[in-house]
Amino acid sequence: MSALIYGAYGYTGTLIARAAAEQGLQPVLAGRDADRLSDLGSTLELPTRRASLSEPEELRAALDDASVVLHCAGPFVHTAAPMVAACLETGTHYLDLTGEVDVFRRLADRDADAEAAGCMLLPGIGFDVVPSDCLAQFVAQKTPDANTLEVALYADGTVSRGTLKTLIEQMGRGGVVRREGRLHDVPPGWTSRNVDFGDRRRGVISIPEGSVVTSGVSTEVPNVTAYIAVPLLVQSLLRSSRHVRGLLAWPPLKRLLKRLVEQRPAGPTAEERRQGRTVVWASARGPGGRSTTARLHGPEAYTFTARAAVEALQRVLNETVPSGYQTPATAFGADFALAVDGTSRHIVEGPPGA
Ligand SMILES: NC(=O)c1ccc[n+]([C@@H]2O[C@H](COP(=O)([O-])OP(=O)(O)OC[C@H]3O[C@@H](n4cnc5c(N)ncnc54)[C@H](OP(=O)(O)O)[C@@H]3O)[C@@H](O)[C@H]2O)c1
């Protein structure tokens, strides 16, 4: 049984490859640039394999003896499809780091193909969506007949170039909520509220976060909204962006912004990762006012991502995993998030004995 990390020399791929090596895994490092792979391979003393996503035969050959691939090369809206196609042909389990709602939706549509191929499709095995998906399932299971679920994320620290490029790619997309069991596109910053993150209440605004899609599989709650904590100015900008969505989706503007992003550091420094922290809040409500609210406190988002991804790789290598489209919670259970070192869960409000 062997693992392959694709996009290994990117910022997050490198964090994961290093964490995997520290845990004693021997993943093959893969990507499209032989020189950068060779540098990383020598540093971590791990084998490397060059393969391009646009060369299906080369990609299939790279996956041939891998039982699982961890795909770290985003934006996944451009890169997930060829990797998923290769995994379905080679029967390789697929994990990725996407947070893009449209990628979750497309992969969910491949459920039957993955079942037939005997492999698991598990997108979102990073900070997006492990804590939100696992906490959503946790509060939903504690609230019989829950009909409304809200999830909110708080993360301090900076984001990587790759994350910024992925966000730019989604500009103009608008929001998504689940209503009566169906996904609905809504304007950007559609709704807002305040949430108690433990240290203080913060204003949060709705975003198209992946758990709006994954909760349709991980829970049976028909109405789901996801939020993120951002300053009031950012909330206003997000709301105003609904008037210029056409401009934001304009490809030349996206190209320009991506060029500007190239001037930024690759991602948070080691010190920023050490100091940063995350809080995810989720609340499920049922008839008669029954509700369960809980928080998950965890390490900085990229540290969380690396630890969660390595934990998932270890489980796929050592355990029997379900085939078909899965979410972190359906593949590994609501407690999976607690396996991420430095993470704790607290029930804020719940039924007696919760
Ligand atoms: N779920 C989460 O919480 C979470 C956390 C961290 C990151 N992410 C996501 O993970 C992705 C990577 O982030 P990052 O910070 O590692 O970015 P990064 O440092 O820019 O690395 C991106 C990697 O993807 C490769 N890549 C991009 N397009 C490719 C293509 N068409 N074919 C082959 N390789 C390609 C790049 O290779 P080249 O240099 O050769 O182009 C590079 O190795 C982003 O989409 C980000 O949003 C998600």
pLDDT band at 168 (very low <50, low <70, confident <90, very high): confident
Give dist(CA 197, CA 119) in Å, integer: 37
Give dist(CA 80, CA 60) in Å, integer: 14
- pLDDT higher than 90, residue 243: no
Q: Whose CA is nearest to atom 26 of ligand 1?
A: 73
Domains of the chain by start residue, with CATH: 3-125+303-332 (3.40.50.720), 130-302+338-349 (3.30.360.10)
Question: Is residue 328 within 6 Å of ligand 1 at its C-beta?
Answer: no
pLDDT band at 258 (very low <50, low <70, confident <90, very high): confident
pLDDT band at 261 (very low <50, low <70, confident <90, very high): confident
Question: Is residue 100 within 6 Å of ligand 1 at its C-beta?
Answer: no
Question: Is residue 267 within 6 Å of ligand 1 at its C-beta?
Answer: yes
- pLDDT higher than 90, residue 254: no
Give dist(CA 322, CA 88) in Å, integer: 15
User: Phi and psi dihedrals of 299, rounded to 5?
Assistant: -70, 175
**Distance (Å) from CA 314 to ligand 1 centroid:** 21
256: tokens are 């320009």
Count of C-beta atoms within a 10 Å radius of residue 55: 13
pLDDT digits over 47-105, tens only?
999 999 999 999 999 998 999 999 999 999 999 999 999 999 999 999 999 999 999 99
- pLDDT higher than 60, residue 282: yes
Question: Is residue 104 within 6 Å of ligand 1 at its C-beta?
Answer: no
Ligand 1, atom nearest to 167 Cα: 47
Ligand 1 pocket: which of 29, 71, 163 to mutate (most atoms within 8 A of CB): 163
Q: Whose CA is nearest to atom 39 of ligand 1?
A: 10
Query: Is residue 280 within 8 Å of 138, Cβ to Cβ?
Result: no
Output the pLDDT for position 255: 87
pLDDT digits over 106-155, tens only?
999 999 999 999 999 999 999 999 999 999 999 999 998 999 999 999 99
Give dist(CA 66, CA 68) in Å, integer: 5
Positive/negative CA dihedral, 62, 67, 71, 72? negative
**Distance (Å) from CA 350 to ligand 1 centroid:** 39
- pLDDT higher than 80, residue 225: yes
- Mean predicted confidence (pLDDT) in 238-248: 77
**Distance (Å) from CA 52 to ligand 1 centroid:** 14
Question: Is residue 99 within 6 Å of ligand 1 at its C-beta?
Answer: yes
Least confident of 224-228, 240-244, 307-311: 240-244
Question: Is residue 172 within 6 Å of ligand 1 at its C-beta?
Answer: no
pLDDT digits over 12-40, tens only?
999 999 999 999 999 999 999 999 999 99
Output the pLDDT for position 16: 98
pLDDT band at 245 (very low <50, low <70, confident <90, very high): confident
Question: Is residue 101 within 6 Å of ligand 1 at its C-beta?
Answer: no
**Distance (Å) from CA 34 to ligand 1 centroid:** 16
Question: Is residue 125 within 6 Å of ligand 1 at its C-beta?
Answer: no
Q: Whose CA is nearest to atom 25 of ligand 1?
A: 73
Question: Is residue 6 within 6 Å of ligand 1 at its C-beta?
Answer: no
* Residues of the chain above pLDDT 70, percent: 99
pTM given for the model: 0.96
pLDDT digits over 91-106, tens only?
999 999 999 999 999 9
- pLDDT higher than 90, residue 270: yes
**Distance (Å) from CA 151 to ligand 1 centroid:** 26
Output the pLDDT for position 350: 87
* Residues of the chain above pLDDT 90, percent: 82
Output the pLDDT for position 351: 72
